[in-house]
Structure 1
Amino acid sequence: MTVQKTAHVISHSHWDREWYLPFEKHRVRLVELMDALIELLENDPEFRSFHLDGQTIVLEDYLQIRPDKQEIVTRMVREGKLHIGPWYILQDEFLTSSEANIRNLLIGHSDARKFGAISKLGYFPDSFGNMGQAPQILLQAGIDTAVFGRGVKPVGLNNEAKGDYESAFSEMNWQAPDGSAVLGILFANWYNNGMEIPVTPDESAAYWARKMADAEKYASSPHLLFMNGCDHQPVQTNLSEALRTARSLYPDVRFVHSNFDDYVAQVKAALPSNLSTIRGELRSQRTNGWWTLVNTASARVYLKQANQRVQTQLEKVAEPLAVFAMLTGHAYPEHLLAYAWKTLMQNHPHDSICGCSVDEVHREMMTRFDKSHQVAEQVAADSLQAIVSHIDTQAVFDPSSLPFTVFNTSGRARTGVVSIVLEVKRLPFAGGKRKQVIGELKELSLDGFVVKDASGNKRDAEVEDLGVTFGYELPKDRFRQPYMARSVRVNFLAQCVPGLGYRTFALCRDDSVSAAPDRPLPPAEGRRMENEYLTVTIADDGTYGIADKRNGGDFTGLGTYENVGDVGNEYIFRAPDGDVPLTTRGMPADIRVEEHTSFRTVIAIVHRWDIPASGDDTLAREIAEFVPFLERKAQRSERTVPLTITTRLTLEQGVPQLKVQTSLRNEAKDHRLRVLFPTQVHSPVHYADSVFEAAERETNPAPTWANPSNCQHMQTFVNVRDEVRGLTVSTLGLNEYEILRDGQGTIAVTLLRAVRELGDWGVFHTPEAQCLGEHTFEYVLIPHGTGQDIEQSYAAAYQAQIPWTAVQGSVQPGSLPAEHEFIRWSGDGLALSAVKRNGSSEDVTMRWFNMTKRPAQLRVEQVHGAGGALYRSNVLEEEGSGIGHGEWIAIRPAEIVTIGGKRP
């Protein structure tokens, strides 16, 4: 018996919010599309539905212009004519944090729910690779099917998959590292394989003969998918007529104007038993390597740095502090945080955060980053004031003291150098009293100040006089109050601050001799510095070595800079033919000790370099003539420009890691700058921080890989190791690395990539993608041994992303002690991802994931003031089974676990 084929035609438009046009110009076309679509849905009963690209922001953008359409849009969603969600935006999964991926799903669900229906489909049409934990995240959200456009090679024809990342069909099982699996459907013929269907019989016959053959090549069932639309595609208003023509030409084929709900249900009912199983990340590992688009991770690095700064401020500072304040009785600013998240996420679409759009797009992004960060900073500041107002400092400090509290929101106890500006004295001023106030403050003596902890122990500190500074208060009940203050900056070593809590210190008058620190740093000897864990030695050419006193591990020759030409584009790096990398290896460097105290040493290394100024004249001509980047013959120019690189190495007492800061002024174009860390570790695999996992990746690409470069994404860190030792490199907003196939196990981290065009389907000049001007890059080197040392290095890498938070208080009575932990938990191998309030209740939400491939256990020992029950939850933060306080919870390898805590 012959099974009738069904052609499922799904109307859609893949809506890049901003790309080759800035946002508002794209939005004008969105309004035109939506107006036409609504009219069509109202007047053509055969045009059944439209898929709104899996993102609710499309409606948000439309209704901001056309609020009069709110009622009709809501009705059409409820009637199943418009399919929306489950995401807020279509993000780049690898360049947005783990939590950002979850918040995207949460906000998408919340917004779609207001319209009355949510599309429960994991929709990733154009992501530049797919996160390995997507199946687990989707299943926790009640979604069992994912549709995506990249990452897997479909085999077709004989339907026999031969590799781990090949699929026999466009349908497959997709399994996350924890074992969770969903049905995966690949757009094997892309998401435009049913666009612009002809109406006339002759054109229709030729069209469908070609399209049906292409779809049948990969389909595992008689249900064939045809996506009727493409990027910013206007709705096909004559589709019903086109389908009537197709039915008349192919009576043995059932042509349906379909939707994903119906299509997926019918595919599931007809799936064969021999589907391939694809595991983990989908990054096009079994291709020639040219079209993974991974080099968007290094396009416009300034965007990635801003994104890391704002994400961290929201996730790891503002939200935990707001929870701490809530646990002391203050209101949680859910509305402000939701606004900050939405504003940030408007920068997370793949063509936005990837840095592969026109210059106007990325200028607007920087404004959005600033807006989101400003809200997050204010939420954090208000929360800090709320918390410190409850801290009892009167019991431990003299009335003349200046108390200040250091908060740790990283989840694990922490030691490090903290810097805070304190007002020693402030005086209000008005009218003609300015000179008198400033004079009085200038005469104030700052002699004899020391830092003490709550037990009265002196802490070694630097106190820097900042002179007289202006400030103001904005009282809740009266007009602004300006003042002048005598201020100091205090730098000191804060030791063992609780993981989700604080320690309080004070700047005190004390004329006695200051106590020596517990373990002062040995003297810096020009090119050598050390603490109790590491010894760092610097060579003549500015490379440095790290000797690990704990296990004898030794890494040498670290920190060489490498520069090559780039004749590619914002999407893809390509070096000119025959280009020989320039490096600072062997180049004399200026080396000096910049700072040395008992708790911190800083050594500066300066390289003065000349590099080619740009690509040659051929590159401009080739771009203008739309010569494909793989066919370009351009070279680097003979003219050079100076590149001065200043590297600062910082070693702190009690901290087993080396902090590195690289600063430079880029005057060159069409090039890439990387920093190299040869490890002499030889392993076929390495590990990179990805979304909710430390992903294991092969160091050597597949035999099909033709691209000389094998760059890859990372979120926070990359790690190489063998049976004896390893090195973890943690970066702040540097998302591209490569493990070089140089026999030295070298980790190469991209600092800057400068190009002059967008690339892709046309000629779009992007001069601002050359990233000219001042840049500062930060990263941390963490050597480690074996066993739990590995996970501890990961935990340190995550912690290095999070800034210290400190705030001045006053001497006062209070209900909180001078040192406190609001939430106490334990669990080896686990990483804390979030501490926030549940978006739909007053419950505290906490999220972790298992960094390891072995089972783990989690115990939540204390939640301040929350005597209510604990319960298992999911990524949608829905209440599940109860958990006892202090109960050990079994965690699967690579599992994401969310715990809710009710408030009494």
Structure 2
Amino acid sequence: MSRDALAQSLRRLSIRLLELNAWCDRDRQLIEEGEFRTRPDASWFKISPGEPWPAIETPVEIQFETVIPKNWAGSLVHGRFQLGGEALLFMNGRPMGGLNSLHQEYPLLSEAKGGETLRFQAQVVPHGLFGTPVPQPRLDLACILVPEEDARALYRDLATALDAAGYLARKSRVALAEALLGAIHRAFRETILPRNDTEEYLARIAVVSENQPADDFYGNEERPGSLWERWKFRSPSGSLTTQQRSRLREVRTAFAAELAQLRDRFPPEGQAWLTGHAHLDLAWLWPLEETRRKARRTFYSVVGLMERYPELRFNQSSAQVYAWIEHDDPALFREIQGLVRNGQWDIVGGMWVEPDGNLPCGESWVRQLLFGQRYFQSRFAQGATVAWLPDSFGFNGNLPQLLLSAGIPNFFTHKLTWNERNPFPYDLYWWEGIDGSRVLAHSFSNPDNGYNARLTALELGETWRRFRGKAHHDATLLAFGYGDGGGGPTEEMLERFRRFRDFPGMPNLRMDRVVEYYKTIAAQSLPVWVGEKYLEYHRATFTTQGKVKLLHRQLEHALVEAESAAVLAALQRQMAYPEAPFRRLWEILLLNEFHDILPGSSIHTVYETAHRQLAAALDECSSIRDRAISSGKGNQEPESAKDLEGLIWNLQMDDRPLLAEIAADPQEPTRRIIAGEKEVVTQQLEGGRLLIWADEVLVPGLGALPLRSVPGEPGAMLSGIQTDSTDLETEKLRIRVNGDGTLASLFDKDCGREVLAGRGNQLWLFTDIPRQFDAWDIDASYAEEGIELCCDTAPECIETGPLRGAIRVRHRHEQIEITQDYRLSRGSGFLEIRTRVRWHGRRQFLRALFPLEIRTHETWAETAFGAVARSNHRNTPWDEARFEMPMHRWADVSEPNYGVSLLNIGKYGYNVNGSVLGISLLRSPIYPDPYADEGDHEFVYGIYPHRGTWRNGTVQAARRLHSPLRFAAGRDDAKVQSSLFRLHGDTVELAALKKAEDSEDILLRFYEPHGNRARTTIEMAVRVRNAWLVTILEQSAQPLAVEDERRIELSFRPFQVISLKLEIAR
């Protein structure tokens, strides 16, 4: 058969299939009237099918009732509903499932008695699955029906086979395609359908042709309702005869026999392990509160399907979703617990949400896993063993280590198949992290619907064909079910599974829990991917929605600081550790790390909520921290400095030089300020702040230094920092500012070296219209259309004194105003660029560029608990694809003996091309938030030159930038004034100091930041009874030796994370 002949045969049979579908309902009864109200305390309005809603609110309630006809006794009864949006349907008080464009029909009664009254209630939102508003929602359809079960079964048999034949024909597997078409043709030839009643026939054809199910594969544009006359036909009233039903069963039997013969001639090829899911985005094109409704709708639908299809296995990640269900619908939650126990419902993920894979810091990842796994263990007596992250936009290189420590040896994603230039080389492999840890990783490539498969022949066949891991394993995973907006699997998908699972020439299908798939893999011979998994797509997610990114970074640091302060206060018996508030605050942060919130790809309403939540959490964290470090005399700074007394706190592990800001009234009498036993140098700042500094005075790590004022003339005087309108100089750095606002020079006096190879801090504004995914993407060609911004006024000196100087430059372009202060401080080697932007206009992209006098072939950037090296050239397609990269607090380019780090607070996107280092500052896309980042912004970035490579102080400088010294007014001798914990030996970083989860013990977490092997000793000012190495879940304790109850030795692999639990003698 020629290709054209095959196509014609497929077309002809698809029309026959449409005709058969017209007889899939035996009888139907419309519900003629219902009631509508906008809220529980509102009045009910009458509403009939075809009528618009009386009002548009979110959500609304619709109710209606009907009586089962007497002649339906003994019949299976279904309901079909189109209510004007997404809905949760109840019948006689029992939840049935979610209603949407893809889930419209539910079984109501397995055997009607006749005469029963069915009462329906629905909570409806006037939006589609993907948040699209329904402009004029109507009650389109509400009916009950008796399905024609034999016709439905044959329809599904033939639809599945026709789908397979079409796919096989397109893949030039002509012999099998022809054989299937022949079998289908013979089945139709033997099928008897009533065509002798014109009105009944037209009525049925009209109904089915105007309401094509979303799962059909071949439609028919020749619809009677599309004609000039606008034909309207009466409702169907007839049904098949007993003889016709019997014939349908005979045809099914004969067709099954033909398929069995074809299986002998064309055995199944390959294997796919199926898992149902709904990939419910916690926020995206809808707000968080709608997700809670989506979750209930989806989960009730799944529970109902499992009752009818016990073979269904459904996976769901995200402890946050389960926590919502536990709160909102305890009965549904108990049902899910039972389904988990019997193995039908699969717990995956192990995290609080499915977070962005690049932007959260290491401690955020720990808490994602800690909160997620411990929730699953406490509610379901099991944790996840597969990290399920199908849709996150790339993955940091330290994730394997953290997954293994959380008891998760397996990893799944689909997103890497989205690479726009270089196909990711593996789909079954070991993923080795930057510390050497490995997890077993898998992905699949479904070319049609990605991780939301419908189980069509194309999806099944092509997913197997594209599976490169078949050289090592005989099966691929495939997830199915409508997702992103929820919904999940459908009855049609499960009927396809039953027919396709052993189909001629197609992959064998198996349904099971996801972890069972991983257990079957012989992993010894698999290839290895080392380091980060960079997604060649969605690069703008490092920059879009800068406000939420800044709040996120600030809250990450504030939480860790507040926990440390609370532990120190608790050890001194000054304050009870606020465990419940910390849990609530961490949950706010973790929720907002979801992979469509933190990356900037959600609607405006989502960010209104995120800004409010994160800002409130930041304020509460600061309050807890200040209460912890304050004395019993109160936690407020004094109104004046004449009786200044208090403590300067260092909430980091290492001792650090005294350079801090405190409150001080410039109108108060002259006074001397003493830190410890040494007088400090001061400089009055704007806003009632005082900058203090003392040479060779260190504030102890995790400790405090007393501060007091005494009357008299200050004795500690220094010459001022050299400052004028264009030049600024300290003992370490000297800068010169051009008239256009850029840096003419940045000179490192310690090293006698010019840092810049051209004008530094060039501000460029680019036209930013990617070819698709407005909020997500930056096109590689973005730099072809941009302008450099220049000052509209001359630079001016705005701050001068013995401790700090600053030069201000201003830029204006149309409605954009940018004010930048170049700041240098005594004792600091960091050039701070404090930036305020009034950001107006759309589809623009702001970047700052620094040409550097550095010759190197790689750049390093901070990632979660470590750092990652990348090329800074464009030699290969892989290099070219990394034209925008993620960082955390710093990025660096270095020669062996000298380098330059770019530090920032709240920015994540950067690039390096040769010796030009750039940072991405702001974007203004219009979809899905038309007003993304519109308004005022304040942020900090700057340049940190250094001897050697980034390992020589960059991590410490970036940490100190985010965590300044804190002043607590009042004096209390009981307060700790020296370090409770000290480190001796090689450099490691403190990640967390907190109370242990299940005891009064103390948990310290460290990581090796430089990629070195390290040995260090932790020395404690408190006595330690016992110490254990624990996982990040604070489990699997391994005892450690404690010398003299005060010292513990630790050894680290490169980038290793170690969690240490201490029992303190009290």
Instruction: Give CA-to-partner distance per residue, 1:795-853, whole Å, 9 cap, x none.
Output: 1112211133211114x5x3346x31122113434222212122222222222222223
**What SS does the aligned partner of 2:1034 have?**
coil
Letter in 1 for 2:275: I
- The reply to whether residue 308 of structure 1 matches residue 465 of structure 2 is no
1:523 to 715, 718, 722: 722
Equivalent residue letter for 2:1024: G
Q: Deviations over 1:547-600 (max 9, x none)?
A: 222222211322121111111210012387894431146x67522221112111
1:388–1:405 Cα contact (<8 Å) kept:
no
Which amino acid letter does the alignment assign opposite residue 361 of structure 2? S
Decide whether aligned partners of structure 1 residues 4 and 541 sit closer, same or farther in structure 2, where only a CA change above 3 A counts.
Answer: closer
Q: Quick one: which amino acid aligns to residue 241 of structure 1?
A: E
Task: Specify which of 597, 613, 619 is matched with residue 374 of structure 1.
Answer: 619
2:930 to 767, 771, 780: 767
Match of 1:102 in 2: 366
Change (3 A) 1:450 1:465: farther
Tell me, what secondary structure is at the counterpart of 1:858? strand
What secondary structure is seen at the aligned counterpart in 1 of 2:723? coil
Change in 2 beyond 3 A, CA 1:193/1:562: closer
Q: 1:596 aligns with which of 764, 787, 800?
A: 800
Question: Identity of counterpart residues, as a percentage?
Answer: 21
Task: Indicate the residue corresponding to 1:460 in structure 2.
Answer: 681
Kindly indicate whether the alpha-carbon contact (under 8 Å) linking 2:400 and 2:432 is maintained by their aligned counterparts in 1: yes
Kindly tell me the number of residue pairs found equivalent between the two proteins.
777
Residue 338 of structure 2: aligned partner? 75
Residue 34 of structure 1, CA deviation: 0.9
SS at match of 2:1064: coil
- The 3-state SS of whatever aligns with 1:902 is strand
Deviation at 1:719, TM superposition (A): 0.3
2:302 counterpart of 1:141: no
Structural RMSD (CA): 3.1
Q: 1:732 to 1:5 in 2, by over 3 A?
A: same
Report whether the alignment pairs 1:18 with 2:283.
Answer: yes
Which stretch of structure 1 is more off in the superposition, 88-97 or 446-455? 446-455
SS in 2 for 1:365: helix
* Equivalent residue number for residue 806 of structure 1: 967
Question: Residue 661 in 1 paired to residue 834 in 2?
Answer: yes
| CA deviation profile, 1:52-75 (whole Å, cap 9, x unmatched) | 0x2111112223321233322222
- Measured against aligned partners, the alpha-carbon deviations of 1:771-801 in whole angstroms (never above 9, x if no partner) come to 23222220132100116x7331221112211
Q: How does 1:255-334 map to 2 (within 5 A)?
A: 255-266=509-520, 268-269=521-522, 271=523, 273=525, 275-284=526-535, 289=536, 292-315=537-560, 317-329=561-573, 330-334=575-579
1:679 to 841, 844, 852: 852
CA contact (8 A) 2:271 2:464 kept: no
8 Å CA contact 1:540–1:588 kept in 2: the answer is: no
Rounded to whole Å, the distance in 2 between the matches of 1:903 and 1:560 is 53
Moved more, 527-536 or 714-723: 527-536
- 1:881 equivalent in structure 2: 1039
The 3 A distance-change label for structure 1 pair 799 and 240 is same
Contact in 1 for aligned 2:1026/2:1039 (Cα 8 Å): no
Is 1:714 the counterpart of 2:887? The answer is: yes
2-side partners of 1:211 and 1:153: how far apart?
14
Please say if residues 859 and 888 of structure 1, whose CA atoms lie closer than 8 Å, have aligned partners that are also in contact.
yes
Partner secondary structure for residue 62 of structure 1? helix
- Aligned equivalents of 1:410 and 1:235: distance in 2? 50
Return closer, same or farther for 1:61/1:154 CA change in 2, 3 Å cut-off: same
What residue number does 1:635 align with?
none
In 1, distance between residues paired with 2:653 and 2:783? 49
| Aligned mates of 1:779, 1:144 — CA distance in 2 | 38
SS at match of 1:353: coil
Residues 903 and 572 of structure 1: CA distance in aligned 2, closer, same or farther (over 3 Å)? same
- How far apart, in 2, do the equivalents of 1:69 and 1:582 lie? 57
Query: Matches of 1:206 and 1:464 in 2, distance apart?
Result: 68
Q: Does 1:34 align with 2:299?
A: yes
Unaligned runs of 5+ in 2: 1-266, 636-640
In the alignment, structure 1 residue 65 sits paired with structure 2 residue 328: yes
**Pairing of 1:496-895 with structure 2 (within 5 A):** 496-508=698-710, 510-511=711-712, 513-517=713-717, 520-544=719-743, 545-556=745-756, 557-568=759-770, 569-574=774-779, 579-584=784-789, 589-607=793-811, 609-610=812-813, 641-701=814-874, 703-704=876-877, 710-741=883-914, 745-758=915-928, 766-769=929-932, 771-786=933-948, 790-810=951-971, 814-816=973-975, 819-862=977-1020, 864-878=1021-1035, 879-884=1037-1042, 885-895=1046-1056
Deviation per residue, 1:404-450 (Å, 9 max, x gap): 111111222223542223699xxxxxxxxxxxxxxxxxxxx831333
- Cα distance 1:208–1:98, how it changes in 2: closer, same or farther (>3 A)? closer
SS of corresponding position for 1:821: coil
CA gap 1:68/1:213 in 2 versus in 1, 3 angstroms: same
The letter for the 2-side match of 1:890 is S
The structure-2 alpha-carbon separation of the partners of 1:846 and 1:659, relative to structure 1 and needing over 3 Å to count, comes to same
Q: Which runs of 4+ in 1 moved over 6 A?
A: 152-155, 387-390, 575-578, 706-709
Distance 2:846 2:353 in 1: 32
Give 1:705 shift: 5.5
Structure whose alpha-carbon radius of gyration is higher? 2
Per the TM alignment, residue 708 of structure 1 is displaced from its structure 2 partner at its CA by 8.2
Gap change, CA 1:387 and 1:655, over 3 Å in 2: farther
Q: Distance in 2 between matches of 1:642 and 1:51?
A: 49
Distance 1:367 1:462, change over 3 A: same
Q: Tell me, what secondary structure is at the counterpart of 1:791?
A: coil
Q: Distance in 2 between matches of 1:538 and 1:791?
A: 28
One-letter amino acid matched to 2:563: E
CA displacement at 1:678 relative to structure 2: 1.2
The two structures have a TM-score, normalised by structure 2, of: 0.69
One-letter code aligned to 1:492: I
- Gap regions ≥5 residues in structure 1: 156-161, 199-203, 391-398, 425-444, 467-487, 611-640, 759-765
Aligned 1:151-300 pairs, distance under 5 A: 151=416, 166-167=424-425, 169-189=426-446, 197=454, 208-215=460-467, 220-229=472-481, 230-231=483-484, 232-247=486-501, 249-250=503-504, 254-266=508-520, 268-269=521-522, 271=523, 273=525, 275-284=526-535, 289=536, 292-300=537-545
Q: Which residue of structure 2 aligns with residue 405 of structure 1?
A: 647
Deviations 1:317-372 (A, max 9, x none): 21110111121123211111010000111111111101111111111111111232
1:39: how far off?
A: 2.6
Of 130-139 and 374-383, the range deviating more from structure 2: 374-383
Q: Give the C-alpha shift of residue 208 in structure 1.
A: 4.3
* Residues 827 and 20 of structure 1: CA distance in aligned 2, closer, same or farther (over 3 Å): farther
The 1:850–1:190 alpha-carbon spacing in structure 2 relative to 1, beyond 3 Å, is farther
Work out the CA distance in 2 between the residues paired with 1:67 and 1:385: 42
- Cα distance in 2 between the residues matched to 1:449 and 1:111: 55
- Residue pair 1:170, 1:219 contacting (<8 A) in 2 also: no
Residue equivalent to 2:662: 420
Go from structure 1 to structure 2 and tell me whether the alpha carbon gap of 1:143 and 1:597 turns closer, same or farther (over 3 Å shift): same
- Secondary structure of 1:102's counterpart equals helix
Q: Which amino acid aligns with 1:871?
A: W
- For 1:845 and 1:192, the matched residues in 2 are separated by 45
Given candidates 580, 592, 600, the residue that maps to 1:335 is 580
Letter in 1 for 2:670: G
Question: How far, CA to CA, are the matches of 1:380 and 1:656 in structure 2?
Answer: 28
Q: What secondary structure does 1:92 align onto?
A: coil
- Structure with the bigger RCO (C-alpha within 8 Å, sep 6+) is 1
Q: Is the 8 A contact 1:16 1:351 kept in 2?
A: yes
Distance 1:190 1:897, change over 3 A: farther
2-structure distance, mates of 1:415, 1:209: 65
Instruction: Kindly state the Cα deviation for residue 119 of structure 1 after the two structures are TM-superposed.
Output: 1.6
The answer to whether the 8 A contact 1:3-1:222 is kept is no
